[in-house]
Chains A and B, each alone.
Chain A
Amino acid sequence: MADEVNNAGENVGAVGEGTGEAGTARSGGTAANWPGALLVLLLIASLVFGYAQWTARRRLEVAVGNQYFSSFFDLLGNVDNVRVALSKSLVSGSPRLRVGALSDVWREASNAQANLNSLPVTHKVLAKTSAFLTQVGDFAFVTARKVANQQMMSDDDWDRLVKMKEQSEDLAKGLAGMEAEASSGRINWVRVAEQANKEVPAKAGSKSTPEVVTDGFTKVDESVQQFPTLIYDGPFSDHIEARKPVGVTGAPIDSTRAIEIARKFVPFDASAHTGKIEGEVDSKIPAYRVSLEAPKKSGKPDAIVDVTKTGGHVVLMNIARDIDPKKIDLEAAVARANVFLSKIGMTSMKPTFASEVGDVAVIPFVWVQDGVYVYPDMVKVKVALDNGDILSYDSLGFLTSHHARKLSKPSIEADEAKELLSPALTVSAPPRLAVIPVETVDTPEALCWEFRGTSFGEDFFVYIDAASGVEEKVLQLIKTSEGSLTM
């Protein structure tokens, strides 16, 4: 035993520091050789440790790779099913079967989108394909609803479905091209993920596995690029993004004026604050970002105020400070917010759906015109519940949609609308008229009767179109674990 250790010690010496040391070790005898023995033990231990780590890593890599494989193969199946269901929706003569086929498109497309986005490929390569799948599903859903509503599909709807069918065939073909490679087991998904993280551009000529995957998806994505912009009555339609803000009116202002406006706007005396333009916002609503810095030891908070370059409207205001434990209730907070709004000249606004989260209250106010609640024209005010200070103000919704509306008289009376409600709903408040946002292409808004009611112990809002009697929306009030909500 001692001899073995001795010999091993020699070897280590020889490897580590040359033969001279081995000589010293031998002449020293076994007693003086314990450091060598320890080194050998450490070496063996580290080898065992290293091997264990290596196998564990291999297992993890395989497990992770299998997850990616599974997503990829599910994606193949989903896209194929989308293609088949789209064909079926065109062939089905009866609304019953067509609705079924369109629902299949919707389900398979949203699964395909989820599976696509869980693959380890850079977003750049997947973006357009992902958007296509979302829109196919969304459009199928909207069309299914239309058909179920006994409405006719328009010629445009037909054209869109046919184009989508063709496009999904191309998509399925492109993916099938990658399938052979994936099935051969030659794709190392972990390597693909590493490559994607590094974002190294693929070298021309080299065909290692990451490039096969990235190239494959790039080709698929390119084929989708040619797909026309999709405009239909759904939340993911391209017209939603293109909507222009209509509430930003007035003459252009300069940065000095923006600072003045910000200084006057904040809910405390900011005359001693240092005002400067911190940056500019280049969005649909271009704005100056004004920072107001409190003088030292003044005890006042700093504020950030975004002022539109056109008209000098305040879009966002935020005051950062720590909040002490709650002292005032939601009702008092709403009153404080009301005072603030009238001070800044936002009259004709009514609070709705105020909620309390932790030590703050968020109170949305909506524009009320002739007793009609116009939900798109919304501003939100955040109030601290320790002393009732205003913490933030957000008028993005208001500035996006506010304009002089001509509200038409409802062609359906409240009583008639009530007849259309589900028998499961017990109405708990008198109905009122409201304008709500909708996704249709022609108009972004609909005038509806708003019913508040309860069903099976839960609170609901149901909106019935005041012109057509169509049930537009059902909203459920969800009580969160923290805070309360009042109307």
Chain B
Amino acid sequence: MMSSTTKRMLIVGSTVLALVAVVMVAVVLRGDAQGRAGDANLLARLVAAEADGEPYQGMVAVASVMLNRVESAKFPNTVSGVIFQPGAFESVSNGLIWRRSPSRQAVSAARDALNGYDPSYGCLFFWNPSKPVSGWIWSRTIAVRIGKHVFAR
């Protein structure tokens, strides 16, 4: 008798699992209708994904890092090239950038950065020191700390 209870539990369990899988597939497929070309939109998306919950200055600084990279010879020379450089940003690699629609603040931060407001002072890198990052990145000169991120050249 006990074994059939186990079986039933198994069945319920697998049904739940199957349902969860279906829901997950649906979530992934839904996507986002807002995706449109244009530097400001792309920047706002990246800011929303990378600097969520950061102070406003920190959001503008993240957008500025993208634009500083475009200006740097060491990085791709377009905004989309910088954002989609393989492995450059975790939120791009895991698709978070397409799942979160940018807040008004993120859009405004992207615009400020495009207007040349740069609270990172020309930085090319940013990271969250409390999360694991590769060691070499610490060899860069840290220019400023904003919220949870440090910015470096």
Is the Cβ of A124 less than 8 Å from the Cβ of B136? yes
Closest chain B residue, CB of each to CB of A200: B134
- Residues on B with C-beta less than 8 A from A38 are 11
- Checking A24, A118, A196 against B4 with a beta-carbon cut-off of 8 angstroms, the contacting residue is A24
Closest chain B residue, CB of each to CB of A323: B108
Of A174-182, A281-289, A402-410, the one with at least 4 CB within 8 A of chain B:
A281-289
Known A-B contacts A118-B85, A197-B87; A281 and B144 likewise in contact (beta carbons under 8 Å): yes
Is the Cβ of A279 less than 8 Å from the Cβ of B144? yes
Q: How large is the interface on A (under 10, 10 to 19, 20 to 34, 35 or more residues)?
A: 35 or more
Interface 1/0 per residue, B95-113 and A, CB below 8 Å: 0000000000000100110
- Bound form: Cα–Cα A124–B75 in Å: 11
- Residues on A with C-beta less than 8 A from B10 are 16, 35, 39
Known A-B contacts A24-B4, A196-B87, A283-B143; A117 and B76 likewise in contact (beta carbons under 8 Å): yes
- Bound form: Cα–Cα A281–B57 in Å: 13
- Bound form: Cα–Cα A392–B119 in Å: 12
Write the nearest CB–CB distance from B102 to chain A, whole angstroms.
Answer: 13
Interface 1/0 per residue, B125-153 and A, CB below 8 Å: 00000000010100001111110000001
Is the Cβ of B74 less than 8 Å from the Cβ of A283? no
Is the Cβ of A135 less than 8 Å from the Cβ of B73? yes
Closest chain B residue, CB of each to CB of A319: B56
Known A-B contacts A283-B121, A392-B117; A197 and B93 likewise in contact (beta carbons under 8 Å): yes
- Bound form: Cα–Cα A371–B146 in Å: 40
- Bound form: Cα–Cα A382–B142 in Å: 28
- Residues on B with C-beta less than 8 A from A382 are 112, 115, 117
A401 beta carbon closer than 8 Å to chain B: no
- Residues on A with C-beta less than 8 A from B117 are 316, 318, 380, 382, 392, 394
A362 beta carbon closer than 8 Å to chain B: yes
Q: Which of B3, B7, B75 has the most CB of A within 10 A?
A: B7
Interface 1/0 per residue, B59-86 and A, CB below 8 Å: 0100000000000111111000100111
- Residues on A with C-beta less than 8 A from B112 are 382, 392
- Bound form: Cα–Cα A35–B11 in Å: 7
Is the Cβ of A117 less than 8 Å from the Cβ of B85? yes
- Residues on A with C-beta less than 8 A from B88 are 123
Interface residue count for B (Cβ, 8 Å)? Answer: 45
- Bound form: Cα–Cα A117–B84 in Å: 9
Interface 1/0 per residue, A303-346 and B, CB below 8 Å: 01010000000001010100000000000000000000000000
A166 beta carbon closer than 8 Å to chain B: no
Write the nearest CB–CB distance from A194 to chain B, whole angstroms.
Answer: 9
Write the nearest CB–CB distance from B65 to chain A, whole angstroms.
Answer: 13
- Residues on B with C-beta less than 8 A from A281 are 121, 143-144
- Bound form: Cα–Cα A279–B149 in Å: 12
- Residues on B with C-beta less than 8 A from A135 are 73
- Bound form: Cα–Cα A394–B120 in Å: 13
Is the Cβ of B73 less than 8 Å from the Cβ of A380? no
A127 beta carbon closer than 8 Å to chain B: yes
- Residues on A with C-beta less than 8 A from B57 are 304, 318
Is the Cβ of B142 less than 8 Å from the Cβ of A36? no
Closest chain A residue, CB of each to CB of B94: A197
Interface 1/0 per residue, A9-43 and B, CB below 8 Å: 00001001100110010001000100110110010
- Residues on A with C-beta less than 8 A from B87 are 120, 122-123, 193, 196-197
Is the Cβ of B142 less than 8 Å from the Cβ of A282? yes
- Checking A123, A283, A320 against B144 with a beta-carbon cut-off of 8 angstroms, the contacting residue is A283
- A-B pairs with beta carbons under 8 Å apart, 20 shown: A20-B3, A24-B3, A24-B4, A35-B4, A35-B10, A36-B7, A118-B84, A127-B74, A196-B86, A279-B145, A281-B143, A282-B141, A282-B144, A283-B153, A284-B122, A320-B55, A357-B115, A358-B111, A392-B117, A397-B116
The interface of chain B, by Cβ under 8 A from chain A, is 3-4, 6-8, 10-11, 14, 18, 55-57, 60, 72-77, 81, 84-88, 93, 108, 111-112, 115-119, 121-122, 134, 136, 141-146, 153
The interface of chain A, by Cβ under 8 A from chain B, is 13, 16-17, 20-21, 24, 28, 32, 35-36, 38-39, 42, 46, 110, 113-114, 117-124, 127-128, 130-131, 134-135, 138, 193, 196-197, 199, 236, 279-285, 289, 304, 306, 316, 318, 320, 357-358, 360, 362, 380, 382, 392, 394, 396-397
